[in-house]
Structures are given as C-alpha cells and as structure tokens.
C-alpha cells in the first residue's frame, strides 16, 4: 500500500492537538476510503483530549454530541467530528449505549466500532496505521466483517446489520459469512431501532450504484420482511405479457436501472415502490391472465404509509407518491394538444423529467433488454412542441384575474373559482381563446350558469 496522502488542513489541525501534547487520529470512513484510494467526504477524528479540552483548542466548536464525547469543530470552512476515545456499555434497548466511558487508548476506542474496515486509525500528523482487527486485509479482500463476535455486536445495536448491507451495496463488498449469518438472529434488536436511523441507511442504499445488492441480502436475512414487508410480499407474484420477472425482481431491476441513469433519490425510491400494490390488486381476467387493474393507486397508498412509517418529510413523500400514481401513462400520437396539455398539468411541468426517468427504469425492468434509443422520444418531442406553442397551463397564465371578473359582476368565492377553472379548461383545450377579450366574453356567459 503506497503512502496515504493526508490533506494539508488535517495536518494543520493535527498540529493544534500535538502542540498541546494531545493525540489525534483520523478514524472511520475517512481512513477506509483513503485505503481504497479515495478522498473521504467527512473527517472523523479520535483524540485523548476531553470534549472541554477540544473546545478550548478551537474557537468554533459546537457541542453536537457532548454526552457521547463528540463535538463538531468548524475549521476553515470544514466541519469535523471529534470524539474522545471511549468504550460503550449497557445497550439495554438495542439502540444506543446507556453509558459512555472514556478510554485512554485508541485501541479501546476501535474495539467499539462496527466493522473491521471501520476500525482502523491513522495517527496524525504521521505514524503507522493502527489496525488491531485486520481491517486492512478485509478491505483488500473486499469483505465486511464485524469487530468481534457478530451476534454480540448486533445484539448491542440493531442498526449494524442494516449498515453492513448498506456498505455492501455502496462499495460492492461481500458480507463475511459469520457476519451475514448473525443477521437473522438480530431481527428482534433491529425492530427496536428508530425509524429515522433506518431511513438514513435506506437513503444511502438508494444512492448506491446497485441498490438491489442490499435489498436481496435483506430478503435473504429476513430484514426485508421486517422493514419493508410490502416489498417482500412481491416475491413470486408472477406477471404475464412482456414481463420476464416476478414483481420483486422487476422492482429491484427498476431501482438499479434508475441508479444506473443517475436518477435522483426520489425516482429511485419510486422505481423501488411503484408496483408494491400489485399483490393486492391482482385478479385473473376471462382468459386466465393476471391483471393488476389500477395497481398504481394501491401502490401509491401503500407507499405513502411506508414512507410515513420511516418519517420521511412530507414534501419527499408527496414527490415519490405522485410519480408512482402517474407511472402508468400511455401516450399515443392521436392525443390532441389539449390532451397533451392536460398530461403536463397533471404531472407538473417540472416533474416530467423524473417521470420519464421512472418510465425508462420501469420499461427496462420488464425484460432487462436495452431500450431503443428513441424510447419515449415521440412523447417528449410532442410535449416540447405543445409547450412551445402555448404556456397557458395555470391560472397565473391567463390574461384575466379575479379582479377583472369582479369588474363584470361575478361574485367572489366558489362561483368565481368555478368560472376561473372553466376558463383555464377552455384555454388548455384551445390556446387561441387565451385573450383578455375572449375570456371576458366567456366569463360573462358563464355568469348566468355559475353565478
């Protein structure tokens, strides 16, 4: 292994510790990533200095997790987590240690960490790597292995099994046998983990290059049934027609396809969940073929419940559920311009691109065949052409306002609202009507009916 390149800013920070006779190590993901030849995004430091001492060393320190010995140092535009060496004991709820005890040696601190690849310390400003659990060898072998006894480590913290699978899909590593085999016995502990912590792992899985890796391992170990039972229920739900896969494999392929296209997390989540309503909406038609009539509505409903369970923010939930609800559009060339405009309004102009990405992922995943180059092109071209012709898509685009309608004697409140909607509908159908004069005439006529 060549010499590791240490960022000059880290050297500078290290000097601040060592001049006061304190030890400091780079630890965790940053060391793991350096050993894999990548620059780390965040820096975690471990030190023998107590949190109060760290706070005295730097002018800008936030006591983010001071109970657990962690403070955040803000230094030259960077935020670093600095943790005093510690051991942990008494994980009574399987979530967080009850007590934190400071340790005097870095080795003790490393022994509380989850995986060998995450339990390597790099002394700053310089010195040989501290690797008491052979993490370097495991990184070379691309292997995820618990520090110590996997059953005990998972019983302490039920998030660790999920982290193991998340790292597997992020880095393409294997989970070592004993570590993997300990997961089914830890399900009861994982069940107690807070939904927010699981959600953060799910997001990292979705952001990884091949999310199916984690989800298939989740299935194998029972985590899928525990955390995402709606998805687990899609196994062996067979589909006919163009489909080559059952609903679970189809969903995982769609999610991977979205990841390959570097689609945003929202689209990847929608790809994963877009068909979870199929097991519930399945029925046999007169020819003995499975149909999934209106499954997108059921998928949308189940997805909302699932995402609420993991405490996703409402805006995120709405975004994902909307894509799922709209994923079954069927464009044909004989759509009128009005139909195209209604499609744009229903989806939302700024969400069209995500819906196209979802459809590409979905289509790829029916047969795992590369899509034709012009896939969706007729619709996209048509949408662009229609938008170029007229951008009258919302009330804001109309040249008349509520005030103008007041002027011709239409009362505010529900009647006015209905007339404005009717004007918009008329313009969406025929943009030539979108002049002030014409709309006021139409409004005048409608006054009798709605007013």
Residue 96 touches ligand ATP, criterion: CB under 6 A: no
Minimum CB distance to ligand ATP smaller for 33 or for 246: 33
- Piece in contact with ligand ATP (CB under 6 A), picked from 98-106, 156-164, 226-234, 394-402: 156-164
Q: How far is the CB of 44 from ligand ATP (least distance, A)?
A: 5
Size of the site for ligand ATP (CB under 6 A): 11
- Piece in contact with Mg ion (CB under 5 A), picked from 21-29, 161-169, 193-201, 389-397: 21-29
Strand 99-102, strand 122-123: pairing: unpaired
d(CA 104, CA 48) in angstroms, rounded, equals 6
Contact partner, 114, from ligand ATP, Mg ion, none, Cβ < 5-8 Å per class: ligand ATP
Residue 42 touches Mg ion, criterion: CB under 5 A: yes
d(CA 281, CA 290) in angstroms, rounded, equals 10
Minimum CB distance to ligand ATP smaller for 156 or for 275: 156
- Among residues 65, 104, 112, 107, the alpha carbon closest in space to that of 88 is found at 112
- Among residues 40, 42, 29, the alpha carbon closest in space to that of 120 is found at 29
Question: Taking CB under 6 A as the rule, which mask of x and - marks residues 19-48 in contact with ligand ATP?
Answer: ---------xx------------x-x----
Minimum CB distance to ligand ATP smaller for 113 or for 322: 113
d(CA 99, CA 69) in angstroms, rounded, equals 11
Residue 131 touches ligand ATP, criterion: CB under 6 A: no
Minimum CB distance to Mg ion smaller for 42 or for 285: 42
Element (DSSP H or E) covering residue 65: strand 61-65
Contact partner, 157, from Mg ion, ligand ATP, none, Cβ < 5-8 Å per class: ligand ATP
d(CA 119, CA 110) in angstroms, rounded, equals 5
Minimum CB distance to ligand ATP smaller for 28 or for 94: 28
- The answer to whether 220 and 230 are in contact (CB under 8 A) is no
- Among residues 252, 174, 256, the alpha carbon closest in space to that of 208 is found at 256
First to last CA, the chain: 81
Minimum CB distance to Mg ion smaller for 28 or for 97: 28
Contact partner, 160, from ligand ATP, Mg ion, none, Cβ < 5-8 Å per class: ligand ATP
User: DSSP characters for 71-120?
Assistant: EEEEETTEEEEEEE-EEEE--TTSSS-SEEEE-SSHHHHHHTSSBGGG--
Residue 135 touches ligand ATP, criterion: CB under 6 A: no
Residue 159 touches ligand ATP, criterion: CB under 6 A: yes
Minimum CB distance to Mg ion smaller for 30 or for 270: 30
- Among residues 259, 246, 163, 171, the alpha carbon closest in space to that of 211 is found at 259
Bridge partners, residue 100, by sequence: 88
Q: How far is the CB of 69 from Mg ion (least distance, A)?
A: 16
Q: Which residues bind Mg ion (CB under 5 A)?
A: 29, 42
Q: Which residues bind ligand ATP (CB under 6 A)?
A: 28-29, 42, 44, 113-114, 118-119, 157, 159-160
């Amino acid at each position: 292994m060549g010499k590791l390149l240490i960022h000059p800013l880290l050297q500078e920070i290290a000097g601040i510790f060592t001049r006061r006779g304190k030890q400091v190590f780079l630890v965790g993901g940053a060391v793991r990533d350096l050993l894999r030849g990548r620059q780390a995004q965040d820096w975690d430091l471990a030190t023998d200095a107590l949190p109060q001492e760290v706070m005295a060393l730097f002018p800008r320190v936030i006591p983010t997790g001071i109970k657990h010995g962690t403070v955040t140092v803000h230094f030259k535009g960077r935020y670093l987590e600095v943790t005093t060496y510690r051991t942990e004991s008494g994980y009574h709820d399987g979530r967080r240690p009850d007590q934190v005890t400071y340790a005097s040696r870095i080795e003790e601190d490393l022994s509380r960490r989850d995986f060998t690849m995450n339990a390597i310390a790099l002394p700053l400003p310089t010195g040989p790597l501290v690797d008491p659990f052979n993490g370097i060898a495991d990184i070379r072998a691309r292997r995820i292995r618990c520090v110590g006894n996997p059953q005990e480590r998972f019983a302490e913290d039920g998030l660790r099994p999920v982290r193991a699978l998340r790292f597997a899909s992020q880095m393409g590593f294997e989970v070592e046998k004993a570590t993997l085999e300990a997961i089914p016995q830890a399900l009861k502990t994982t069940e107690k983990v807070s939904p927010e912590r699981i959600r953060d792992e799910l997001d990292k899985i979705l952001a990884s290059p091949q999310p199916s890796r984690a989800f298939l391992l989740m299935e194998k170990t029972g985590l899928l049934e525990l955390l995402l039972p709606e998805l687990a229920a899609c196994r062996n739900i067979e589909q006919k027609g163009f489909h080559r896969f059952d609903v679970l494999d189809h969903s995982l392929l769609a999610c991977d396809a979205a990841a390959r296209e570097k689609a945003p997390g929202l689209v990847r989540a929608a790809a994963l969940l877009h068909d979870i309503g199929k097991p519930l909406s399945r029925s046999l038609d007169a020819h003995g073929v499975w149909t999934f009539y209106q499954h997108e509505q059921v998928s949308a409903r189940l997805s909302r419940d699932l995402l609420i369970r993991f405490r996703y923010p409402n805006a995120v939930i709405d975004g994902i559920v909307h894509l799922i609800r709209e994923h079954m559009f069927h464009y044909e060339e004989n759509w009128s311009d009005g139909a195209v405009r209604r499609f744009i309004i229903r989806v939302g102009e700024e969400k069209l691109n995500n819906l196209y990405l979802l459809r590409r992922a979905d289509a790829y995943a029916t047969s795992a065949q590369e899509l034709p180059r012009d896939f969706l092109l007729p619709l996209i071209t048509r949408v662009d052409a229609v938008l170029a012709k007229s951008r009258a898509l919302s009330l804001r685009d109309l040249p008349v306002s509520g005030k103008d309608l007041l002027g011709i004697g239409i009362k505010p409140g529900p009647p006015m609202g209905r007339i404005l909607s009717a004007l918009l509908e008329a313009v969406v159908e025929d943009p030539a009507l979108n002049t002030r004069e014409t709309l006021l005439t139409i409004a005048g006529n409608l006054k009798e009916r709605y007013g």
